Each structure stands twice: as structure tokens, then as C-alpha cells.
Amino acid sequence: MDPQRYIATAPMRMEQLLAAELRKLGAVDVRESRAGASFNGTPETVYRACLWSRIANRILLPVAEFSAPTPEALYAGVQRICWPDHFSATDSFAVECNTSRSRIVHSHFGALKVKDAIVDQFRELQGARPSVETGQPDIRINLYLLQDRATLSLDLSGDSLHRRGYREQGLAAPLKENLAAAILLRAGWPDIAAEGGALLDPMCGSGTLPIEAALIAADIAPGLLRSRWGFLRWKQHDETLWNRLLREARERREAGLAQLPSITGYDRSPLAVRSARENAARAGLGGRVRIEQRELSRATPWRGDAGGLVVVNPPYGERLGRDSDLAQLYRCLGDTLKQSFSGWQGAVFAANPELGKCLGLRARKIYSLFNGAIECKLLCIDIDPERFVSDSRFPAPLPAASRGEGAQAFANRLQKNLKHLGRWLQRDGVSCFRLYDADLPEYALALDIYGTDPRRVHVQEYQAPDSIDPHKARQRLREALGVILDTLDIDQEQLYFKVRRQQKGSAQYEKLAASGSFYQVSEGGCRFLVNFEDYLDTGLFLDHRLTRRLLGELASGKRFLNLFAYTGTASVYAARGGALATTTIDMSNTYLEWAQRNMALNGFVGDEHRFIRADCTEWLQRGGDGNRYELVFLDPPSFSTSRRMAATLDLQRDHVTLIRHAAGLLAPAGVLIFSNNLRRFRMDREGLSDLELEDISRATLPTDFQRNPRIHNVWRIRCRNSGREVCRSRGRAEPDGASRVR
């Protein structure tokens, strides 16, 4: 039989999984669409899709497509289909309608017109009519109206395919079966199970995840328990073919159960445990899927399980506020994973991605999936000590009643700083600033505020020396976080916490997370994207606010070169200041793409704005790109190394060579602005005696950083004459790093 075109529907963000599944089932010419996929296949293909799809909601057979701008056109189009070819007058049927951007706006009215047309046709041809049954009809008909175009289909699945038949009653907000399957597929469970790995869900609820995991691992068709299908009363149904596929599925089930790996579910609720056991029994997995009552903090691998997948769907919360216990639950989950499941894979399905950072584990991969209307994040984690973020984990803030005397001093200092900076902030329109920078030695934090609506607070703890009692340091940190929440009147979801420690080698460049969450902030009339979770720094160095403004003032009518450009904020200021052209160079693809997004956000997208991925020191050593620039910004890291580099960059050692090469690209009367954040930096004036060096560090120190004048060094540099040989004196150069140490 020639292949027929079918449509499979699925929840949003599962389209890719659905398409891959359909191909494995024999479908051809599979094309993803929003919330589904279309495909070609034989009757066997579509029966297999109904029986074996773990992702689909429905399998539809389109029978007609026509223009339906009016109720009359819809009625006439339905009447042109010979419905007695598909079902009998003795069968019951129901019509479901979805309409989008069409003149027929009411789905109930659209369904009613289709029903009338079908009933009238049967009555006219046979003198009898089929009955309408909305509960469990023999035949389901689907009408989809899009821009006045009607697609009429037979629903071959009948009831939604996510209803496997093993769950009679779930607990509050149960996870749909096909969503559970999608979580497991994204987490790599089929490969883990094939290698003999175990699965454990420490918060299993009604057992959906462990049961779906068993169905996958044992090669059990998810539709094998169902007795009702949308095609059973369809006149073109091939019962012989269907029975053969059922026999094959039962044989595969028996073979798969013999090789089922260890699958366990825990839950603290006796009601949940009882429901999960009943569901497992209905699925034919009683005694094969273990369900036990156990607190999350006591969750450990089942006896003999050496590794596998820990998958969990924690409770949802509408908001993560100061009084919420969800953050504490996630911390408990993170501690449990670290203490008991090291070496396993983890998959945490989080409705609120802000909670993910409470786990204290870096996600290897993050997927978006929808649970109903809620967009959730699936955090796939390697539970390995190298991925632990124990020091950077968000500690539980202490309430006021539990804080010591020092906490009041810290609160007083925050209030004092807010009052001191208030008039300046209002006058200069500054919304991103540093409020506190280790003003009190006992509270060694840097506290930066970004934006106003909502206000986001970025807190970094300076790593305590080994001589400090870690328990006391932890207590003071928890006090400080509680004070910050109270004093700034923010919710915990607005607070981001990290630890600044001295890093060595490539460790300094590692991402802390992979949220991919960017937030827009404003500064000096420019807009920037910042990220509070994935990197140690946010993408906007606040201490360079005046330096960026200076570059903007100098850039008018000039060609601007930005070296070690990071996220391109200086390029944005230069472009806004009227630069003729900008060239932005960085070794990191991530930062260069970020820079492009910042430029585009401000409307700078033309060919005059170039972005070059290159090792800046090697690029300079080669003489650049042959162009000369009237304004150059050189802002190298203090120390850098990378697998892409031939050697390391040590700023104190290498700054003479860097400055000489950068100055060599200046046009006559050009200006080089050189900056760095090496606190013990000493400019080698003797080695650069042929250049005009002006220390403008004080002049570029913003008001909010004046408590710490050594935060950065900034120099204005010019050639003493326009002779190119002077500025391009040869010297040793070391390759650039991919990131930066502030």
C-alpha cells in the first residue's frame, strides 16, 4: 500500500524527540512542526506509532483540507467527504475543534458545524444518523482551523496516548506519562539502562517516572495496556495486522522484563507510596519496580546498585520568596546527590530555574520542556566532585532572630552606603553599582546591584583564608545574606551568590552553570545583557563605567579597536559616541557572540562593526589587520592560559610588549587607553620611555568604588611622534587567554 500522510501531536519542546521516535518506528519524510510532526507511512507504521510512541499525544489521519472562511464554507467542505467510507450510522462519534487566526473564532461552534454536516449526510444517504458521544466515542474527528484553512482528520489514537492505562488516580499535579518519558529520554536513560545502570527517583509521587523508566528499559510498548483505540471502529481498520503487532509487543515485553535493571522509587508520603505501588501493579510491574517510604535526606542507592540515573521532579512553587521552603528542599536534594550518588547521572526537572542554583551542582546540559502551560528546565548533571559547587552553593539565609551582634553592624553599613550613594545615583541616573566591598572585614563580600525593576543583587564572597574557622565563616555568610534580603527588601530569587577564589590554570575559565539566562540593564544610555548565574563575572565590569564613558567621548569620527573585548561593552559606548567603525576582538566564541548581541541590542549591526575571533597577542604580533585606528582600548586579563594558546599571558611580565604592539596600530595622533585590574601592577616607564604615559586611574574611578582605589589601573597613551617605527619597536609577546581574571 502506498504511504499515507499522518500527523502526530505532542507537547511543545518535544517535537525533536517525537520526530526521532517516528523515524525509528518506520516513518519517512518526517517533518517537525510546532507541537508535533507530520510523516508518511503505511498502516503498519501508523499502528506502531499508536502502540509504541512514548511522546505523542495523538496520531491523526487527515482526510481533507479546504478553505473555510465562513460557517457555510466549513459545512460544505465537510459534506464533500464520504463519511460512510469511514464509519457507520450505528457508531458514535465526537468532534474536537481548535481554531487560530480564523474568522470562525469559537471552537465549539466550529465543532457543531462539522457535526451537523456529518449527521445531515448520513441521514440523507442512509435515512439514519450516528449518535454523538463526547465521553468515549467510537470515532473521533479533529478539526483544525488556521487562517481560515480547515484540516479535517480522523483521530486514530482515540484517547490521548499519554494515558497508558496504569494510572487510575494520581496525586496532586501528577506528571503526564509522555512528559515523564521525555525527561527520561533527554536524561539518557535508554543508554544507561542498556549498560545495566540503575534508576532511582527519591521523590517519586505516584510513580510515573519509575514506571515509565521500566517500560523503556524492558522494551514494553506504552500502549499495550489500552483497550480502546480510535481506529477499532474505523471501516479501514486492518484487524489482522493490528493483532500481529500486539502479539509481537507482548513477546518483546516478556523478553524485556527478563533483563529489567534495578528501578526504585522513594517518597516520604505513605499515600504516595501506596498510589505508586498500585500504579506499578496495574502496569504489570508489581514486584519489579521497588517503591519504598523514605525521607529525601535518607535516599541512598538500592543495595548493590553501583551507578545509574537519579531522576527527580521536585514540588513546584508559584514563587521563590523569602519564606519559601523550596530553596531548602533543593539544597537538601543537592546534598543528598553529592553524599550518596557520586558517580551517578542526575536529572532534576525544575519548574523554577532559579532553584537550580541551590543544588550546588553544575548542570552538564539544560533542556526546556513544558508541563502544561509551565515552561520547566530539565537539569542534566554529572554527579561528580569536579562538578560540585559546594562553596558557591546558596546557603540558607538566617532569619533576624538567629543572627549575632555583628549582623546589625553589617545592616547599618548597608543602610549608610545606600544613603551616601543615593543622591549621586539619582543625579547621574546610575542603576548598576557597587553597594558594599568588604567594608567590614568580618563580612568579606562584594555586593553589586543591577537594575531597578526588578532589582537584582549579585553577591560575591571573597574566599576566607585557611586560618578562619569555616563554620564561623559560614555562619557570618548566612547572617549577611539574611541582612541583604531584609535591608534591600528583595526576594531570594533576586539574589545571586558566588565565591571569588584564586584560580589556577584552566579552572578560572569554567562555567559555573549553563542557565543561558540573560537580563537587560541600562548604563549611560546604552543597554547591555548580563548573566548572573553562568560565569564568575556578569558581563559588565562596573568599575569601568567611567572608562567606557571616556571611550565614548573620544570615539566621535574615529576608527575604534577593542582588544580583549570580553562582552563588547566598550564597543557599544564607542559606537554610540559616533565612531566611524568598530573592531571587536576576543578569543572566546562565547564572549564574542555576547558582544555581537550587545551591539545589536543598541542598534549597531552594520558592516562597519566587525567581530574577530583571535588570540589578541598573536593578532598584535602579526601586525593586526593592516589598518590603523585613532582609538584603541587594550584591557587584558592579569593572567591567562587556555588550551588554544601556545603560552601563558602574565600581564606584569608582558605589558611592555602588549602596549608596544597595540600602540603600533595607532593612526597619527591616535590614543591608546590601557587598563587592567592587577592590584600590584607597576608600569615599566623605562621600557616605554618613547611613549607618552598618563595615569588616569583616579579620574576613572567611579564614586561607588572610591572605597577601594586599587580596583583598576587606567592609562592614556600616545606616541611621542607619529613615526611608526617608534611605536612598533619589537619585543617579546606572549599569547592571550580566552577569559579574564578580575
Q: CB count, 10 Å around CB of 90?
A: 10
Per-residue pLDDT at 514: 54
pLDDT digits (tens, 9 = 90+) for 3-20: 799 999 999 999 999 999
- Report pLDDT digits (tens) over 698-714: 999 999 999 888 899 99
Mean pLDDT score across all residues of the chain = 90
> Would 177-222+254-387 and 540-727 be classified into the same CATH topology?
yes
Q: Is the pLDDT of residue 372 over 80?
A: yes
* pLDDT beyond 80 at 28: yes
Secondary structure class of 98 (helix, strand, coil): strand
Give the residue, 320 or 561, on which the prediction is more confident.
561
What pLDDT, in 10s, does the model give residues 576-600?
999 999 999 999 999 999 999 999 9
Classify burial at 165, counting beta carbons within 10 Å of its beta carbon; exposed 0-12, middle 13-18, buried 19 or more.
middle
- The model's confidence at residue 503, banded by pLDDT at 50, 70 and 90, is very low
* pLDDT given for residue 1 in this prediction: 52
At residue 731, does pLDDT exceed 50? no
Architecture of the domain defined by 400-501 = 2-Layer Sandwich (3.30)
* pLDDT at residue 171, as a whole number: 56
Does the pLDDT at position 390 exceed 80? no
**Which letter does DSSP use for residue 399 in this model?**
P
Q: Which of 91-105, 276-290, 720-734 has the lowest mean pLDDT?
A: 720-734
| pLDDT cut 90: percent of the chain above it | 76
Q: How does 489-519 read in b/e, with b if 16+ C-beta sit within 10 Å?
A: ebebbbbbbbbbeeeeeeebbeebbbbeebe
Q: DSSP letter at 176?
A: P
- The mean per-residue pLDDT over the stretch 282-287 comes to 96
Spans of all domains in the chain: 4-155, 177-222+254-387, 400-501, 540-727
Mean pLDDT of 622-646: 83
pLDDT at position 512 over 80: no
Residue-wise pLDDT tens digits, 521-571: 999 999 999 998 878 889 999 999 999 999 999 999 999 999 999 999 999
- Quick one: pLDDT band at residue 506, thresholds 50, 70, 90? very low
Q: Is the pLDDT of residue 167 over 70?
A: yes
At 474 the pLDDT is 80
The pLDDT-based confidence of 724 (bands split at 50, 70, 90) is: very low
CA–CA distance, 49 with 56 (Å, rounded to integer): 8
User: Which string of DSSP letters, residue by residue, matches 415-475?
Assistant: HHHHHHHHHHHHHHT--EEEEEES-STTS-EEEEEE-STT-EEEEEEEPPPTTS-HHHHHH
The β-bridge relationship of strands 374-382 and 345-350 is antiparallel
Average pLDDT on 76-96 reads: 97
Residue 219: band (very low, low, confident or very high) from pLDDT cuts 50, 70, 90:
very high
- Specify the fold of 540-727: Rossmann fold (3.40.50)
Mean pLDDT of 284-288: 95
What per-residue confidence (pLDDT) applies to 729?
A: 40
Q: Of 3.90.1640.10, 3.30.2130.30, 3.40.50.2300, 3.40.190.10, which CATH number belongs to 4-155?
A: 3.30.2130.30
**pLDDT, position 97:** 97
pLDDT digits 0-9 by tens, 344-365:
999 999 987 778 888 889 899 9
Residue 656, C-alpha cell as written in the block: 611592555
pLDDT value for 324: 47
> Does residue 35 register a pLDDT over 80?
yes
pLDDT at 53: 98
pLDDT at residue number 322: 36
* pLDDT tens per residue across span 234-281: 999 999 999 999 999 999 999 999 999 999 999 999 999 999 999 999
Do 31 and 38 contact (CB within 8 A), yes or no?
A: yes
Fold annotation for 177-222+254-387: Rossmann fold (3.40.50)
- Whether 735 shows a pLDDT value over 60: the answer reads no
